[in-house]
Chains A and B, each alone.
Chain A
Amino acid sequence: MVNNPLQSFFEAKSIAIFGASSEIEKPGYVIAENFLKNFVGKTYLINPKGGEILGQPVYKSIFDFDDPVEEAVIIVPAKYVPSTMEDCAKKGIKSVVIITGGFKEIGEEGKTLQKRIDEIAKENNIRVVGPNCIGLFYPKRGIDMVFLPDSKLTRPKKGGISILTQSGAFGSAFLDIMGTLGNGNYLSKFVSYGNASDINEADILEYFGEDPETKIILAYLEGFKEGKRFIEAARKVSFKKPIIAIKANRNEAGAHAVASHTASLAANDAVTDALFREVGIIRVYTWDELFDCMVAFNSSLLPEGNRVLIITDGGGAGVMASDSVGELGLELAQLSPAIHDKMKEDLPAFFSVENPIDLTGSATAKEYIYSLEQTKDDPNIDSITYIIIPTPPAINVKDLMEGLKPYAKTMNKTITFCALGGAEAVYIREELEQMNFPFYPTPARAIYGIDKLTEYADFLRDHGQKLPIIREIPK
């Protein structure tokens, strides 16, 4: 990877924290603690008050020690940010993250301050993330500028998803969700870029695109600094890895008076929608959809086609899932005749071996596992959704979960899961999430996950691209 400014932010061996605080409820303390506990490089704490935090000295100035420093995190109040930037310049720091808010987003006074930091950055070739953001998080190297304490925000652990977000609050809530989901192994890199005075959405997308540790990119955007560049970058990146994006603020009208039909049609976000589709960005609109896509892409494989098999013990759930298959333009798979005939023979006569495969209220864990075993290699099926209603008396959910565990390591077809009900459904959810299977609370969402995987795979095939391996089959 050449010349992407973000590389040095994530690879820095030494970081100075301006505004490190000994008061544990302050962001300056949380960030200091994060780095002291987890960062694999050297951490320097700076605060004019001096003292110490967790046994580490707090320097009154960056000039109180001679070691060179590669990166800075700035959490000092806005009015002190320009002078802190000047200190960074003198010290030779080239990568600066400004967490502090109170810049362009608050009006004229803030704008002037932001302009000042832009000037200092330009004059000294300093690259800036922020201001007004929650900065970077990179579990692998213990870079953690998220000022929300561990006790309140569960950090996700090392994984393959990288996030770029314009909103810090959105980003942190999503991190928390990832941290508490399954085994928590989700995150490669996180960048909250706030006002994007320098580094913007296009820089970050390009960086994630080139970054070999990033397998999936999630983006939360409200606007663009460089819309055209973002689209052109996505055109290349989406051939290598999925980009799942929310572009909120959809009613932000292109509300200038227009004289042509074209211009009136181009209002609102029809253009964003078309351009995202063109370059293969998987656009999602709601929090649920973002979550559903994340789970699907992180935990399942890309399907070879659009034929879906539904396995369930509930007639109604199967019908609803079938409806979703039709509505989303997917197809109900037809079992290969040999597999169909064998299953028909092996299973009780009143089970329906069609699509959906309906194991009825007499289903057992054994029959559930048997159905998966029989169909998982059927070439007539591209993906499977497995909808469990655990209430029938003969289903032992513990046995069912034990029986599924081996498949978590060997499953070589797209699969999504759903369990409907109360306590046992919750148990199933937790078990499946631990196995890193994609779990959904409703049949429609389990099919939606398959639909988005199928759509992306179609896009790649349609453009003559190979399907990337996002999820390695676990050993």
Chain B
Amino acid sequence: MKIDSKSIDVAYKEGRDFLLEHEALKIFESVGITFPPNALVNDTKEALAFAKKVGYPVVIKAMSPEILHKSDYKAVVIGINDDDDLKAKFDDMKKRLAKYNLEGILIEKQVKKGIELIIGMNIDPTFGPVVAFGIGGILVEAISDVTFRLCPTTKERALRMINEIKTQKMLNGFRGLPPVDRDALAEMIVKVSKLAIDLEDYIKEIDLNPIIANEDGVYGVDARIILKKK
């Protein structure tokens, strides 16, 4: 699998030490990490065409080099259910965030409800690149139920990792949700851990948070790559 890492050069050229989400998506998708159908669009016409193709509901996210933490800017709008809604929310987002040098709007099919997990990568000062897995979403820092492995890791080790987090109840079919697909999850962990090594010269931190595990599979729904300073 050829890693699509062109966006790293772009980011460095623009003096950024992080990738925009749509740039990070290219890298993740090129190594087989699954995301919901998505596209970077510039106007309502493109947005509507995309929504027509994949169906509602959809999510829109503003892509700007000036916005790292999207929630701080209300740069993510979810639960858009029809054309009118999309038009209105899209225009509103463009207007609100016009001053932030928007590169486009990332539109994604919204995935069904599921368990929110995190897979990430960090360079430990003692042990080097480590891959993290745990409970994600808004709970991530509140409950800190996360474990680590050296990069790169193997599927067997990733499966043990999934068995290791304390909140197993969440993984086994919580509140009517289906049990998470441990196999797919383990493969995703392995891919992130390999990416960390393949792009070791460039990548400082990775966050796939949340990852949503639902009845259809396991999807990254927000992705962040922080680059090493050049």
Interfacial residues, chain A to chain B (CB-CB below 8 A): 223-224, 227-228, 231-232, 254, 256, 258-266, 270-272, 274-275, 277-278
Contact = CB atoms under 8 A, between A and B. Distances in A.
A201 to B, nearest CB: 11
Contacts of A254: 124-125
A232 B164 CA distance: 19
A271 B151 CA distance: 12
A262 B207 contact: yes
> Sorted from nearest, which 5 A-B pairs have the closest CB atoms?
A262-B120, A227-B126, A274-B148, A260-B205, A260-B207
A152 to B, nearest CB: 35
A265 B205 contact: no
Given A261-B140, A275-B150, A223 B126 contact: yes
Interface stretch (B50-58, B75-83, B96-104, B128-136): B128-136
Interface in B154-178: 157, 160-161, 164
B102 to A, nearest CB: 21
A210 B179 CA distance: 43
Contacts of B124: 227, 254, 266, 271
A417 to B, nearest CB: 32
Q: Which of A259, A262, A278 has the most CB of B within 10 A?
A: A262
B149 interface: yes
B8 interface: no
B38 interface: no
Given A223-B126, A231-B127, A270-B144, A263 B205 contact: yes
Contact of B122 (A223, A262, A278): A262
B121 A262 contact: yes
Contact of B127 (A256, A262, A263, A271): A271
For chain B, which range describes its interface: under 10, 10 to 19, 20 to 34, or 35 or more residues?
20 to 34
B18 A270 contact: no
Contacts of B188: none
A259 B134 contact: no
B137 to A, nearest CB: 10
B209 interface: yes
Contact of B205 (A259, A271, A272, A278): A259
B18 A265 contact: no
Contacts, number: 89
Given A231-B150, A270-B148, A261 B127 contact: no
A270 B160 CA distance: 17
B130 A266 contact: yes
Interface in B97-123: 118, 120-122
A256 B68 CA distance: 18
A231 B149 CA distance: 10
Contacts of B226: 259-260, 263
A275 B148 contact: yes
B141 interface: yes
B147 interface: yes
A263 B224 CA distance: 12
A266 B140 contact: no
Given A232-B150, A260-B120, A271-B148, 11 more contacts: A231-B127, A260-B207, A261-B118, A262-B120, A262-B207, A263-B226, A270-B144, A272-B126, A272-B127, A274-B147, A278-B157
Given A231-B127, A271-B148, A259 B141 contact: no
B206 A265 contact: no
A265 B160 contact: no
5 contacts: A227-B124, A227-B127, A258-B122, A262-B122, A275-B150
Nearest to A278: B149
Given A227-B126, A259-B205, A271-B126, A264 B141 contact: yes
A181 B140 CA distance: 46
Nearest to B160: A278
A389 B78 CA distance: 65
Contacts of A259: 18, 68, 205, 224, 226
B86 interface: no
B47 interface: no
B25 interface: no
B17 to A, nearest CB: 8
A460 B68 CA distance: 44
Contacts of A264: 141
A270 B141 CA distance: 13
A430 B214 CA distance: 59
Given A260-B224, A261-B140, A270 B205 contact: no
B146 interface: yes
A19 B132 CA distance: 51
Contact of B144 (A231, A265, A278): A265
Contacts of B130: 266, 271, 275
Contact of A274 (B18, B149, B207): B149
Nearest to B157: A278
Contacts of B120: 260-263, 265
Contacts of B161: 278
A272 B207 CA distance: 20
Contacts of A228: 127-128, 150
B205 A258 contact: yes
B122 A260 contact: yes
A219 B92 CA distance: 61
A459 B200 CA distance: 31
Contacts of A278: 149-150, 157, 160-161
